[in-house]
Amino acid sequence: MRKQWDNSVTAASGGARATQADARAGTPAPTLTPALRLRIGNVEIAPATVLAPMAGVTDTVFRRFIRNLGGCGLIMTEFTSADGVLRAKDKKAKRYLHFYEDEHPISAQLFGSDPKVMGDAARMVEDLGFDLVDLNLGCPAKKVVKCNGGSGLLRDLPAIGEIFKAVRAAVKIPFTVKFRAGWNDDNIVCVELAKMAEDCGLCAVALHARTREQGYSGNARWEWIGAVKQAVKIPVVGNGDIRSPEDACAMVSQTGCDAVMIGRTAPSNPWIFRQIQQYCGRVGTAALDCPVERSSDSPYDEPSEADRYEMIRTYFQMLIEEELPDAVGKMKQFASWFTHGVPGGAGLRKAIYESKSAPEILGKVEEFFEERLCGAGASSTSLRAGLAREIP
């Protein structure tokens, strides 16, 4: 079933470049690009692009996979219960906080409502070697909101203030917050909240420009990001509905935000960060300093079918190597995002869905792409290299 938030898939097809920027009537041609670099406290983020935390998606495998593709300045864990990480027996919460050296700089995202617990969990995150710690004030899930976590806290600014103070006092690493604009349209608190974060010594704020009530429906209202940027001096990260490099630049132009954060587009188009880098190199007045070579006149590379094959294979192999307990589920989920818009993708999705094991899924992917690429007489080097490798 297509989920409500699963609306970024059109960007993956690589064909039509219908962007949020186009969709926003009156959007001026982008002249500003995501910045060269950004400092959050003492941590340098370069380029100023962030992979949004996504539960069930941004585990260590996906984060490293995105890092390896290039162009992403900061990665974040999926949200993790502060209570859970302090409970010795909660292996799942601890797994969420597992990361490798090549993931730096990396931020750990925590949720919870008890200031003391949040402070203790933040200290644990610091001891584990994370570069930053982030507080989640955006999760709309009922079971989180019920315990006053995630976006539930947006209705209680004084309680948020207590958490800010407790975590700030507990750790030396930069402390940030990611929040929605408010509980609903009658309760927009993003500016007030950002000011409070600044006053409490937080080092940056990230706004997903929707209300809790909105869920993932409608458009993100970037004007709220602009309002927050106007209100504080600490860096502001803009988030919501970036589906293309054009969107990323439009968000920076329209809001003045210091960095862009990308969520749902990443699993359907993992090249988005690299494409932003390429696009900025072409259009930007503040172009990124490490331009990536482009193979065509297009402002950024569109992945070829062979690239897509190589990519999905690499990711699946990484999942298998990591021996995650839910590797099969993740492969199915990812294949479904990633093959939307690929001609014949429905057949592959069905075959994958019916598969029982990780090697079987990998086999289906190979079969599908081999037929398409070799059948079409393709002789891409990356394809041949991909086919030649042993599947574990």
Ligand X SMILES: Cc1cc2nc3c(=O)[nH]c(=O)nc-3n(C[C@H](O)[C@H](O)[C@H](O)COP(=O)(O)O)c2cc1C
Which residues form the interface with ligand X (CB under 6 A)? 5, 52-57, 78-79, 109, 136, 138-139, 178, 208, 239-242, 262-265
H or E segment to which residue 106 belongs: strand 106-111
Residue type at 43 in one-letter notation: V
Q: Please, which residues bridge with residue 205 across strands?
A: 177, 236
Number of other residues whose CB lies within 10 A of the CB of residue 60: 20
- 322 φ, ψ to 5°? -75, -15
Cβ closest to ligand X, residue 108 vs residue 171: 108
The distance of closest approach from Cβ of residue 315 to ligand X in the complex, given in angstroms and rounded to an integer, is 16
Cβ closest to ligand X, residue 51 vs residue 311: 51
Alpha-carbon distance values, 305 to 28, 71, 86, 344, 379 (Å): 33, 21, 45, 12, 11
The distance of closest approach from Cβ of residue 356 to ligand X in the complex, given in angstroms and rounded to an integer, is 24
Distance CA 181, CA 190 (A): 5
The distance of closest approach from Cβ of residue 370 to ligand X in the complex, given in angstroms and rounded to an integer, is 31
Q: Give the residue closest to ligand X by C-beta.
A: 263
Distance CA 38, CA 288 (A): 11
Distance CA 206, CA 74 (A): 13
The sign one gets for the Cα dihedral 294, 318, 316, 61 is negative
The distance of closest approach from Cβ of residue 377 to ligand X in the complex, given in angstroms and rounded to an integer, is 37
The distance of closest approach from Cβ of residue 19 to ligand X in the complex, given in angstroms and rounded to an integer, is 13
Contact 358, 392 (CB under 8 A): no
Which candidate in 139, 190, 257, 280 is catalytic?
139
Distance CA 246, CA 57 (A): 24
Residues in contact with 249: Cβ distance below 8 Å, sequence separation at least 6, in sequence order = 21, 30, 31, 32, 33, 34, 276, 279, 280, 283, 284
Cβ closest to ligand X, residue 30 vs residue 386: 30
Q: Please say if 203 is a catalytic residue.
A: no
Cβ closest to ligand X, residue 213 vs residue 370: 213
**Radius of gyration of the chain from its Cα atoms, rounded to whole angstroms:** 21
Distance CA 212, CA 188 (A): 10
Cβ closest to ligand X, residue 206 vs residue 328: 206
Cβ closest to ligand X, residue 7 vs residue 380: 7
The distance of closest approach from Cβ of residue 305 to ligand X in the complex, given in angstroms and rounded to an integer, is 25
The distance of closest approach from Cβ of residue 390 to ligand X in the complex, given in angstroms and rounded to an integer, is 32
Task: Provide the phi-psi class of 49: left if phi over 0, else alpha when psi is between -120 and 50, else beta.
Answer: beta
DSSP string, 312-328: HHHHHHHHHHHT-TTHH
Nearest Cα neighbor of 267 from 117, 69, 25 is 69
Cβ closest to ligand X, residue 131 vs residue 310: 131
Cβ closest to ligand X, residue 184 vs residue 357: 184
The distance of closest approach from Cβ of residue 262 to ligand X in the complex, given in angstroms and rounded to an integer, is 5
Contact 77, 57 (CB under 8 A): no
Q: Give the active site residues.
A: 139
